[in-house]
Amino acid sequence: MSLRSAVPVLGGAPDPCDGPGSPAPLLSIEDLRVAFGGGDQAVAAVRGVSYEVYPGETLGVVGESGSGKSVTVMAALGLLTTATAATVTGRVLFEGQDLLAMSAPQRRRVLGRDIAMVFQDPVSALNPVQRIGDQIAEMIRLHEPGVSRGDARRRAVALLEMVGVPHPGVRARQYPHEFSGGMCQRAVIALAIANRPKVLIADEPTTAVDVSVQAQLLEVLRTAARETGAATVLISHDMGVVAEMADRVCVMYGGRVVETGPLARVFGHPRHPYTEGLLACIPRLGDPVARLTPIPGQPPTPYLLGKGCAFAPRCAHRSGREVCLGERPELVVVDGEGRGGVAAACHFLAEREVPGLRQAPPAAAASASASASAASAVVSSPAASAVSSSDSAVSSPAAGGEGREGGGALLEVRELSKEYPMRSGLLGRRTGAVRAVRGLSLVVRPGETVGLVGESGCGKSTTARLLMRLEEPTSGSVVFDGEEVTGASAGRLRELRRRMAMVFQDPKASLNPQLSVGANVAEPLRLAGGWSRPARRERVAELFDQVGLARHHLERRPSELSGGQRQRVAIARALALRPKLVIMDEPVSALDVSVQAQVLNLLADLKAELGLAYLFVSHDLSVVRHVSDRVAVMYLGRIVELAGRDDIFERPRHPYTQALLRSVPSAEVEVARRGRRAPLQGDPPSPLNPPEGCSFRSRCPLAEEACGREVPLLRVHDGLPGEVACHLAGAGGTGAAGGPAALSAGAGW
Amino acid sequence: MIGFVLRRLAQLVPVVVMAALAVWALVYALPGDPAAVLGGVNASDQEIEAIRQRLGLDRPVWEQFATWLGHVVRGDMGTSITSGHSVTSLLATAIPATVQLAVLAMIVVVLVAVPLGTVVALAPRSWPGRLVKGYLSLSLATPPFWLGLLLILLFSVRWKLMPASSRYVAFFDDPAGALQNSLLPALALGVYSGGVLARFVASSLAEAMQSDYVRTARSKGASEVRVVVRHAARNSMLPSLTVGALQLGSLIGGAVVMEVLFNYPGVGKLMFTSVNGRDYASLQGSIMFITVVFLLLSLVVDLLYAVLDPRIRLR
C-alpha cells in the first residue's frame, strides 16, 4: 500500500523517468489488426491498435463493449479460438521478439512463464473437473519440468496463501465449484503469478464479483504485481477501477486507441471528446449531479464502421464537419514525450486545447439527440467537477423526505419473508432453508424513488419478485395502493399488477423474441382488454415517443435493437398501462456506461412527467445515489440501514453501509489514489446458515460479543435521521461524527 | 457411494413393478382368454386349465397380477409354446449371447466414434475433417441391416471367411471362434451406432474446446495435445456418456434385426420367434429383461457421471 500512496497524485508518470533514456517497453503491441471472417464479410474488430507497457507499471485499457479491448490481447497472445477464423496482423513485441511471428512451441514457452493472464469470469476460467491446487501445479510444472509433483503442489498452496485464500492446504484439494466467485478469482490470480511473470494481463478481473470483494481483489492484484515485479495490463470498462489501479491509460473506441497517456493527465484533462464524454456520463458517488450527461447513440458495431472517426456519429464536438466521416484521425502526441506523453486521435485537438472553444456549438449532426448533446457541451468537464467535489448543491427536490410515518404509502411492506426449503434424502425431507428475505419492512410513497442496494445473494431481487407476487412470500404482507397483494385472488392480482409494473435486468431475455418490439409493448394492453386495435396502436406509438424510440423501430424484433434500445422497449412495456409504481431490478446493469446514462436520464424524465414511484433494485451504489430519494441497504435478507439519500451516502451509520461505500472505486483520480484498503474481508455468509444475532457480525470490524445474542432491529437512534439496524448505532459507535478512525467514511463521500 | 447405489436400487423397484404391470397387461389386453393366449392355438383344454390354475385367473385382477409377479420374481415366467422350454431357461441361453454381441459391438462403436469425433471437433475445416464429416453423413444414411447383408455377401459368400449364420461361442471358451461368429454382426451394429455417437463426441468436444478453461490452459502455455487430453476430453465426456449408454442399451435389447439377419441366438432373435409364434410368455420375459437392462444402465451412467465430474455429488 505504501507503494501506492507514495505515487505522486498529479503530474505525469510515476516511475523513474520520462522522455529519452526511459527503459524499453516490456511488451509492445504495434499496429495490431484483427478481422473475423474472410473475404467480403470480414469484420475488422481491431483496426490498428498500438500500446506498450513498461516494467513495473500498470497500464489501464478502458472502453465499452465492442471497443476491441479484449480481442486485442487475445489476438496478441494467440488465444482467439480457432472457430472464429480471425486474421491477425501487426507485431506484438515481448523483449524484442514478435509473438505473432514465433512458432507455436516458442510462444508456449513465453505464455504462462513470462506473460500470464487473469480472465474475466473466474468460475468458468478454471477447469471444473480438476483440483485448484493441481491446476496451479500444472502451470509451474509446464515451465519447470524439473519440479516434482509434490513440490509443485506445495508451491501452489503457498501461492494460494499469498493471494489470501484461507486454509490454502485444504482449499488446494478442492474443486472450483467449492469456491465462491471471489475465491476463484484469487485462485486464477495465484495461477497467473505462479511463474513470476514479467507481464500480467488482467481482462475485466473484477467485473463478475461484488463490490466488497472487488476491493479485496484489486488489493490482491496490486500485491501480486508488486511481489512479482510484473508489469500489468488492466482491461476494464470501469473507470473507477482503472483510476484506482493504473499509472497510464489507454482509451479504446471502435477498435482503435483514441487517447492514451498518464492516468492523471488523461482523466484530469481529457483531450478526446469520447474520453470526456465517458468521464462525464458516469454517476459519481462522491459528486452527485442532478442530471447525467450521456453520450448520444450507441457504441459502434464493428461491421458498420466507416473509414472516418468511429466516434463521429456520437461526437458532441464534431458539429457536422465532413472530415470526421471521411478521414480517420491519427493518434498524435499532444503533450509530453514517450511514456509521460499524452496522445489523442481527433481532427480538432488544436481547437479543443483552447479553453474558450471547449464549449462546442450545439451539435446539429446528431439531430435525434440534439438536446443531450447540447447538455454535454454545457456541463463542465470532469476535471472541473473533481475540483469542486464538495459542491453537492445540486440535489433532487424530493431528497428531504425521511421517516416512514409521513405521507400516504403507495406500497407498504411488512415483515416480508421468503424461505426456500432445502430437501434431501429419499423422501425429500426438509433439512434446512435458504432464508432469502427475513422480515423486511419498507414503504414507498407516491412519486418517490426508493433504492434497494446490496451485494449478490442479499435477497434484493427476491424482494422485487415477492412484491409483484411473482413468487409467493413465506410470510408477511404487501399492501399496494390500499389493497393487500399477499392473499389477493388471481383476478385481483391481475388487476393490481396493472398498476405496478416491473423492468428486469436483461431486456434480451425479458422481451419475447418472436414478437416485434411494438407487439411486445402492446401485449399488456391486449391482456388488459378494453383496448381496440387502433387504440393500442396509438398508445404504443405514444409510449415509443415517451421512451425516445423512433416509430420505425415498431416492427423490429428485439434482436435487431441494441441493449439500450431494448431496455427502452422494456420500460415502454412497463409503462403501457400507466402504473403508479415501477419495480426495477438492475435495469441498467447490462448496459454500457454511455448508454446507462441515457436510460437513467429517461427514468428521471418519466418520473417527473408521470409522477411515478420507483423501487430501484441495484448493486451499483453510484447509480442508486443518482436515482434515489431514499435508500435501503440490504444484507443477508434484512435491511440494515434505511435513510434519505444524502444521509446514507454522506453520513452512513451502519458499519456495512460504511464499508460498502468505501469499497466503491472512484474515477476521481485524487480519491482513487488515497491508498485505499479493502474495508471488508471475506465473502458474505451463506443465507442457508446466516450468523446468529446480527448477520453482519462475522465481517464487522466493530462486532462485540453482544452482537451475537440478539437480532438488531431497524429503528431510529438518538433522533438522528434514518433507521439503522445495529446494536452499536445508538452508543455513538458508528455515528457519523464519532465513528472510529478506521471506519469513518471520509469527507470524500 | 454404497448408500447411494442401494437407495437408487430401491428406487428402481417401483419402476420395475410399473414395467411389469405393462408387460403383464400385454396379454390381458388381447381379446379372449389370457390362458388361451398364453397356451397358444394348439393347446389342449387341460394345458389351458393348468395355466389358468397357475396364474389364478379365477381370482380378482390385482391378485392375478400379484400371482404373476410372484412367479416372475421367483424366476418362473411360464413356458414357451414354440419350444416347450421354460422362458427362464430360454433367456438364460439368449442373454449371454446378446451381451457378448453387444459388448463387441460397443467396442466397435467406441473405436469408430472417439477418433472420428475427435478429428471433426479439432479440425472441422481440414480435409480429414471434411472427409470424416462426409463419411459420418453416409454412415447415418446406411441402414445397419443393409450393411449386414453386404458384409455377409462379401465375407461369407464371396470370400468364405466367416459363417453366414452365426452360432454363439462363448468368448472365454474359444476367442477365435467367438470372433468368427460374432464379428460380422458386431461390425454391422457398431459402425452405424459409432457414426451416431461420433457426432455427439464431436459436438461436445468442440464445445469444450471453445470454453474458458481451455483458453486458460492455452494461456498457461500448454501444448494442444495436453489441452485436449488433460482439459477438454474429460469435460466433454459427460454428454457422450449418456448417448453411449443408451446405445449399449439398444444393442442389448434392440438388436432384433441384426440377430435375425445373422440367425444369432440372442434375445433379439428370441423376441422375433416369440412374436412370430404368438409366444406371449417368451415375449413377456424378453421385454422384462430389456427394461431391467435400461434401468441398470442409467444407474451406471449416474455413477460414472459422479466419477467424472466432481460437481455431481451422490446423495
- Quickly list DSSP for B197-243: HHHHHHHHHHHHHTSHHHHHHHHTT--HHHIIIIIIHHHHHHHHHHH
- The shortest C-alpha distance from A248 to chain B (Å) reads 25
pLDDT band of residue A407 (cuts 50, 70, 90) is: low
Question: How high is the pLDDT of residue A677?
Answer: 66
The DSSP element (H or E) to which A698 belongs, if any, is none
| Residue tagged 466419477 (cell numbers) | B307
Please give the share of chain B, as a percent, with pLDDT higher than 90: 32
**Residues of A in Cβ contact (< 8 Å) with B224:** 104
Q: Length of chain B, please?
A: 315
Res A18 pLDDT > 80: no
DSSP A129-162: TS-HHHHHHHHHHHH-TTS-HHHHHHHHHHHHHH
pLDDT tens string B80-94: 877 888 899 999 999
Give me the residue from A79, A104, A113 closest to B215, CB to CB.
Answer: A79
- The shortest C-alpha distance from A82 to chain B (Å) reads 8
Question: How high is the pLDDT of residue A745?
Answer: 37
Question: How high is the pLDDT of residue A403?
Answer: 42
Give me the residue from B213, B223, B234 closest to A126, CB to CB.
Answer: B213
Round to whole Å and give the CA distance between A116 and A119: 10
A83–chain B Cβ distance below 8 A for any pair: yes
Res A14 pLDDT > 80: no
pLDDT tens string B260-298: 998 899 999 999 988 888 788 888 888 888 888 888 888
For chain B, the average pLDDT equals: 87
pLDDT tens string A158-171: 999 989 898 999 99
Asked if residues A740 and A731 have their Cβ atoms less than 8 Å apart, the reply is no
Contact B213 A125 (CB under 8 A): yes
B8–chain A Cβ distance below 8 A for any pair: no
Contact B219 A77 (CB under 8 A): yes
**What does the domain layout of chain B look like in residue ranges?**
91-209+235-301
A481–chain B Cβ distance below 8 A for any pair: no
Give me the residue from A125, A175, A425 closest to B216, CB to CB.
Answer: A125
Burial letters for A330-343: b for 16+ Cβ neighbours within 10 Å, e otherwise?
ebeebbbebbbbbb
> Residue type at A230?
A
pLDDT tens string A658-680: 998 888 888 777 666 655 667 78
Nearest to A507 by CA among A448, A560, A454, A548: A560
Round to whole Å and give the CA distance between A544 and A571: 10
Judged by phi (left if over 0) then psi (alpha if -120 to 50, else beta), residue A73 lies in: alpha
pLDDT tens string B147-196: 999 999 998 888 888 887 888 888 888 888 888 888 999 999 999 899 99
DSSP A608-675: HHHT-EEEEEES-HHHHHHH-SEEEEEETTEEEEEEEHHHHHHS--SHHHHHHHHHS--S-HHHHTS-
Res A731 pLDDT > 80: no
pLDDT band of residue A20 (cuts 50, 70, 90) is: very low
| Distance from the first to the final alpha carbon of chain A | 21
pLDDT band of residue A520 (cuts 50, 70, 90) is: very high
Interface test with B, best of A82, A179, A429 (most B CBs within 10 A): A82
Residue pairs between chains A and B whose CB atoms are closer than 8 Å = 84
Neighbours of B85 (CB within 10 A): 14
Question: How high is the pLDDT of residue A272?
Answer: 93
B58–chain A Cβ distance below 8 A for any pair: no
Res A15 pLDDT > 80: no
pLDDT tens string B60-116: 888 888 888 888 888 888 888 778 888 999 999 999 999 999 999 999 999 999 999
A151–chain B Cβ distance below 8 A for any pair: no
Enter the pTM of the model: 0.81
Give me the residue from B10, B220, B235 closest to A111, CB to CB.
Answer: B220
Contact B220 A191 (CB under 8 A): yes
B6–chain A Cβ distance below 8 A for any pair: no
What structural domains and CATH numbers belong to chain A?
2-6+22-246 (3.40.50.300), 268-387 (no CATH), 411-665 (3.40.50.300)
In eight-state DSSP terms, residue A697 is G
Most confident of A646-660, A670-684, B10-24: A646-660
Contact B311 A175 (CB under 8 A): yes
Q: B164-168 long-range CB contacts below 8 Å, 24 or more apart?
A: B164/B262, B165/B262, B165/B263, B166/B262, B166/B263, B166/B264, B167/B265, B168/B93, B168/B96, B168/B97, B168/B100, B168/B264, B168/B265, B168/B266
Contact B215 A127 (CB under 8 A): no
DSSP B43-72: --HHHHHHHHHHHTTTS-HHHHHHHHHHHH
**Residues of B in Cβ contact (< 8 Å) with A111:** 218-221
- The shortest C-alpha distance from B178 to chain A (Å) reads 39
Res A359 pLDDT > 80: no
Interface test with B, best of A127, A149, A189 (most B CBs within 10 A): A127
Contact B220 A142 (CB under 8 A): yes
> Residue type at A346?
C
Contact A110 B221 (CB under 8 A): yes
pLDDT tens string A68-101: 899 999 999 999 876 667 889 999 999 989 999 9
| Residue tagged 404504443 (cell numbers) | A540
Contact A111 B218 (CB under 8 A): yes
- Per the DSSP assignment, residues forming a β-bridge with A118 are A202
Comparison of pLDDT for B111 and B39, the residue scoring more: B111
Judged by phi (left if over 0) then psi (alpha if -120 to 50, else beta), residue B230 lies in: alpha
CATH among 1.10.3720.10, 3.40.50.300, 3.40.47.10, 2.50.20.10 for B91-209+235-301: 1.10.3720.10
**Residues of A in Cβ contact (< 8 Å) with B209:** 81-83
Contact A81 B210 (CB under 8 A): yes
